[in-house]
Structure 1
Amino acid sequence: MRNCLAALCLVLTVTPVQAREYHYSDSHLHFVDFFQETDGMKQLLKAMNESNIDHVMISGIPVAKKWHENEPKRPRYYAGDDAAVYWYSATDVLVAAALKELDDDQRKRFHPFLSGFNPNDKNADSHIRRMLDLDPGLWQGLGEVFTRHDDVTALTQGDTPRANNEALTRVYHLAAEFDLPVMLHSNITSKRERNPLYLEELEEPLRNHPHTRFIWAHAGTSMELHRHQKKLDFLLPTVKRLLDDYPNLYIDLSWTMLEPYLLDRSGNVDPAWVALVERHPTRFMIGSDVVGRFDGVGEAMRAFDPFLDALSEPTAEKVARDNFLDVLPRNRGGGR
């Protein structure tokens, strides 16, 4: 008997703890790129099936990159040259057409957000209402709405959008009317200012529209901000305060939040961010933020696993999959 107990203890000692296997909801995916081109739905479904991605927030890109007459070579990305980008409403038509080719079971895995409108135009809410009427029940959210967005802002034809302008105020009222969450890209600061320069542009809508659910894309960060400023030391306390003050705010932890915030360069998890997520376990979600190319979707989602492993298992499951589904229109359910 002693030998059996000793053998059992040895097995328990050397047997590794079972690694968690996550199922994901990708809360931030663009079906097309800045040229409105895509790998297509077949490739996206293949990538999802290979990587335990059960659900996807799917949207277009609200702007298109111009190939300027004076440029001899077609740019590969919006920042490839100095040519402008312009608001492009047909992006939603492309998303809707792709979804209509799917069978019912496949379509339940996709949660389309309508994004093809100009956030500087006070006609935007009327356009959105027409799009909702054209495809009743199709759209489950609005966004990603581009406001402050690094070089995209500089290249966009027309005025710089602000998250607190009058046009978007009308959109937020409509979102509340239809119970649609709004994903906002609103940088917290500029490339040079080491303070939350643009925070009020986000906080004013949070304060004035308590019945509208806002998803803050990348928590106001971007790769361009990181290139110039490395880590924003004021980000964590700012996000903590906003979550405490505004129950209608949700945080999209897509790729620019992964490093240097959730993880350092060595892959070590930041315990302060773990504590914040545990404090608000239903308010965070993860996304790939891929644009029209889907080979890397699974890798982008699995990159969050070290951070998810540092969370309690119930919280990790919420962040990996369920929180995104719970922020969708309440009369539709998550289709889990």
Structure 2
Amino acid sequence: MPCRQRRRSASTREVVINSYAFRTGRRFAVVGAVLTATAVVASPAGAGAARGCFDRAKEPYTSVVDSHLHFRPFGGRAIPFEEVTGYLHKAGVRHASVYGIGQTLPVDSGCTYYLDCPGTPVAPSMKNDLVNAANYVEAKPQDPALTLSMTFMDLNRPETIPPGIALYDKEFPGKFRWAGEVNLVKQALFPNHHTPATNKNIEDWAPFMKVLRERGIPITIHADLGNDREPTKYLPLMEETLRRYPHNKIVWAHMGLSKELATLDPDQHIRILERLLDAYPRLALDLSWRVLEDQYFSKPGVREKYAAFLDRYPTRAIPGTDFVASRNKDYKVYEEELEVTSRINKALGDKAFRGIALGENYFRLNGVKETAPEVCKAAR
């Protein structure tokens, strides 16, 4: 696996305490007297960080933030909470948004993944969020730093959302600082009774969007652009959302791409994104899910187009894996998904790399009191 070929040499693992300590211990084993456990917690990411900057020639390209991570599966058994946080620490991820999955399979379905059970209804629920919150409160994680997210929101029934937020406030006051991933339109769920939200639904979001806006809480929205037959069929729904709520922090999951849309012209896609980013300064893009790499970035000449686009908008995108922590997965799966979703980082200029891979955009969006290091100029 490519990421495993970029492990640090022992010479980079000196104990130096600086402001970039959260990137400590990124994918290397602590060997005997080389480092104590305390030193691992305090040390920065290698020699580049010791100089106060990040050396891209020596350090991994994988992102230190996972803004899109499902700690709970659609159904079936989950990987234990502290095992997932162990994955993050081992992989060098120091900040993550803790998603449940609001759209859950029935408890008696016997299914782990909705695509395996067409016809089985998948409906929004609070249970995954509440389990995540209980685990979070019990574990009190410090490294990685975690942000709980509300994923229960049924955008087709917006009247149910404010009471749900009030319940979360009562049971876990101040703990939920993110919202989503929630589904405006997700074609993959159509066989499981999901329908797109309507313009009237979007209008009726106003009460809960006001709560999120006043609290500075970002919301990650899954909104498919369209499909191979009609590439922009559902774009008007996202445009209506942005038109009505321009002052909310809205994160567009997967840049609107999906398995159903594998043949969209990258130039057309980038033009759409540029138009919306220019019109709505609070819109951010989510680069999670390996579908972006597999269906788009990996094609000849396409990676360079998207990298150039992100370099033009270096403050407007955040990274993520879209890993779903079902018990049939393990650390190797997470490591691979982190590496695959981070490959775009290699093609980025230094400013976009700092904003995306090193987490500066996520910190700012999430109100985190953390600053990513500058990239060492000599490294490029």
Q: TM-score, normalised by structure 2?
A: 0.74
Please name the residue that 2:258 is paired with: 222
| Residue identity matched to 1:151 | A
RMSD across aligned positions (CA): 2.5
Once the two structures are superposed, the pairs formed by residues 267-282 of structure 1 within 5 Å of their partners are 270-282=303-315
Determine the C-alpha separation between the residues in 2 that align with 1:201 and 1:100.
36
Alpha-carbon shift at residue 19 of structure 1 (Å): 4.1
What is the Cα deviation at residue 49 of structure 1?
1.7
Report what 1:310 is aligned to.
347
Partner residue of 1:201? 237
With over 3 angstroms needed to count, the CA separation of the structure-2 counterparts of 1:318 and 1:134, relative to structure 1, is same
Whether 1:252 and 2:286 are equivalent positions in the alignment is: yes
2:38 matches 1:25: no
Report the Cα offset of residue 278 of structure 1. 1.1
In the other structure, the counterpart of 1:4 is: none
Identical columns (%): 24
- Deviation track 1:148-197 (CA, whole Å, cap 9, x = no partner) reads 1113134136x542476234333222210211101000111145313x12
The 5-angstrom pairing of residues 76-95 of structure 1 reads 76-81=112-117, 82-95=119-132
Going from structure 1 to structure 2, the CA distance change for 1:83 and 1:214 (only over 3 Å counts) comes to same
Provide the C-alpha distance between the structure 1 equivalents of 2:268 and 2:128, rounded to a whole number of angstroms: 35
Provide closer, same or farther for how the CA distance between residues 171 and 313 of structure 1 changes in structure 2, counting only shifts above 3 A: same
How far the C-alpha of 1:99 sits from its partner, in A, is 0.6
Does structure 1 conserve the Cα–Cα contact (< 8 Å) formed by 2:270 and 2:306? Answer: yes
Mean alpha-carbon deviation: is it higher for 59-68 or for 201-210? 59-68
Q: Secondary structure at the match of 2:155?
A: coil
Which residue is 2:249 aligned to?
213
- Encode CA deviations 1:246-281: one digit per residue, 9 max, x unaligned: 1011000112222333332x6x66222112111111
User: What amino acid maps onto 1:262 in structure 2?
Assistant: F
Is 1:325 aligned to residue 363 of structure 2? yes
Equivalent-residue separation in structure 2 for 1:291 and 1:20 (angstroms): 27
1:171/1:287 CA distance change after superposition, 3 Å? same
> Which residue does the alignment assign to 2:325?
292
Q: Deviations over 1:78-99 (max 9, x none)?
A: 0112211122111111110111
* 1:61 aligned counterpart, secondary structure: coil
Q: Which residue of 2 aligns with 1:283?
A: 316
Matched with 2:100 is 60
Alignment of 1:85-234 (within 5 A): 85-103=122-140, 105-106=142-143, 109-121=145-157, 122-156=159-193, 160-162=196-198, 165-190=202-227, 192-194=229-231, 196-226=232-262, 229=263, 234=268
1:183-221, CA deviations, whole angstroms, 9 ceiling, x for partnerless residues?
000111145313x12112111221222221100000111
Instruction: Work out the CA distance in 1 between the residues paired with 2:205 and 2:370.
Output: 27
Give, in whole Å, the separation in 2 of the partners of 1:47 and 1:144. 21
Pairs aligned (count): 307
